[in-house]
Amino acid sequence: MTFPVQRPRRLRRNGAIRALVRETTLRPEQLVAPLFITPGAGRRKPIHSMPGHAQLSVDLALDEVKALWSLGVRSFLLFGLPEVKDDEGSGAWDPSGPVPTATKAIKDALPEAVIMADVCVDEYTSHGHCGVLHTRHDGTVDVDNDATVERLARISLVYANAGADVIAPSDMMDGRIGAIRKALDANGHEEVILMSYAVKYASAFYGPFREAAECAPKFGDRASYQMDPANAREAMREVALDLEEGADIVMVKPALAYLDVIAKVKAAVNVPVAAYNVSGEYAMLHAAAQNGWLDLTRTVKETLLSMRRAGADILITYHARDIAEHL
């Protein structure tokens, strides 16, 4: 293909022209703000590796939600920290646990807020793994897939009963989307949306989250259930399976180091695609900005735009508070 000599700068001449030809948008309603909920009242415990974020009791989380709401953010992803952890993570299906309690409180105050409940047991297990453990035939210890799936369905029901609009399983067990859909439908929750962490890599960028949710595995790692960062074709298999099982939205996580995967998924599916701009991605920009090495607002905007440009419809991001007022 040959083209006559042109002047691309014509379309960059002033702000109005640049806005006219802008290909990608970034709006507060595309953002989802994650929150870490603790039991009790009046409790705020700062997360050192995530400046500006804290574990919050329900009352303070509600204040945070209202502040974000006034900036145009409409969706919230809830993580819970239980009073006590055990082998199975039974705190995750306690109907009076932090996530159901926060869901009800937010829905009472702001009925139109979109409440997404992260479904996983790692914040609730004493060993920090995303499921129930068992010993394999060769003597090694691993997460038991099917026993975990049963519990995920149970947790999802508790969250749906509390009023969650979206159930978001982040465990990476096989078959959980189908099992959760079945449990929801059998209990009158046909309208509850399933957003699958379909493509979730075993990533070092989750470091700060493990401080935030106090869920670092006590032994081993998550490589037997989360994906190998080297794989992109495998991502397409995970997405296909989750869609077959009934996922309404599919997610790629992390986002910044996986923009190629976001683009591939977007090209292959016709459901909304979410990208999770994870804790380590947040920490990097804040650390550099604290040193005066980068401009926080501009780099956040550029980072989130890159995810939208790659194809993400929905951005789950700890930067919601940093950026919403600048959009």
- Of 93, 159, 209, 258, the residue at the interface with ligand PBG (CB under 6 A) is 209
The partner residues of 86 in beta bridges, in order of sequence, read 125
Q: How far is CA 62 from CA 28, 78, 179, 210, 288, in A?
A: 18, 12, 31, 23, 30
**Cβ closest to ligand PBG, residue 49 vs residue 161:** 49
Q: What is the smallest separation between the CB atom of 292 and ligand PBG, expressed in angstroms? A: 25
Residue among 64, 136, 62, 145 at smallest CA distance from 101: 62
Which among 4-12, 114-122, 149-157, 175-183 is the span making contact with ligand PBG, rule CB under 6 A? 114-122
Alpha carbon of 242 to those of 169, 172, 227, 311: distances in Å?
A: 11, 11, 15, 19
With binding defined as CB under 6 A, does residue 103 bind ligand PBG?
A: no
Rounded Cα distance, 79 and 120, in Å: 9
Residues 6+ apart with CB under 8 A from 231: none
Separation between Cα atoms, residue 95 and residue 99, nearest integer Å: 8
Binding residue count for ligand PBG, defined by CB under 6 A: 11
Q: Which of 94, 122, 238, 322 binds ligand PBG (CB under 6 A)?
A: 122
Q: Tell me if 258 contacts ligand PBG by CB under 6 A.
A: no
Min dist. Cβ of residue 1 to ligand PBG (A) = 43
Counting contacts by CB under 6 A, is residue 31 touching ligand PBG?
no
Distance of CA 87 to the CA centre of its chain: 24
Our CB check for ligand PBG shows the closer of 139 and 203 to be 203
Q: Does 30 bind ligand PBG (CB under 6 A)?
A: no
Q: Give the one residue of 93, 159, 201, 206 binding ligand PBG; rule: CB under 6 A.
A: 206
Q: Which is nearer to ligand PBG, 76 or 209 (CB)?
A: 209
C-beta separation of 193 from 248 below 8 A: yes
322 binds ligand PBG (CB under 6 A): no
Query: Can you read off the two tokens belonging to residue 254?
Result: 């992390």
Instruction: Find the binding residues for ligand PBG in span 259-298 (CB under 6 A).
Output: 278-279
182 is catalytic: no
CB atoms within 10 A of CB 108: 10
264 among known catalytic residues = no
CA–CA separation, 105 and 128 (whole Å): 28
Burial 1-33 (b: 16+ CB within 10 A, else e): eeeeeeeeeeeeeeeeeeeeeeeeebebebbbb
Q: Which of 30, 145, 170, 299 binds ligand PBG (CB under 6 A)?
A: 170
69/282 with CB nearer ligand PBG: 282
Q: Catalytic pick from 85, 104, 200, 266?
A: 200
**Which residue stretch of 23-31, 86-94, 117-125, 258-266 sits at the interface with ligand PBG (rule: CB under 6 A)?**
117-125
Catalytic residues: 200, 253
Binding site for ligand PBG (CB under 6 A): 118, 120, 122, 130, 170, 206, 209-210, 222, 278-279
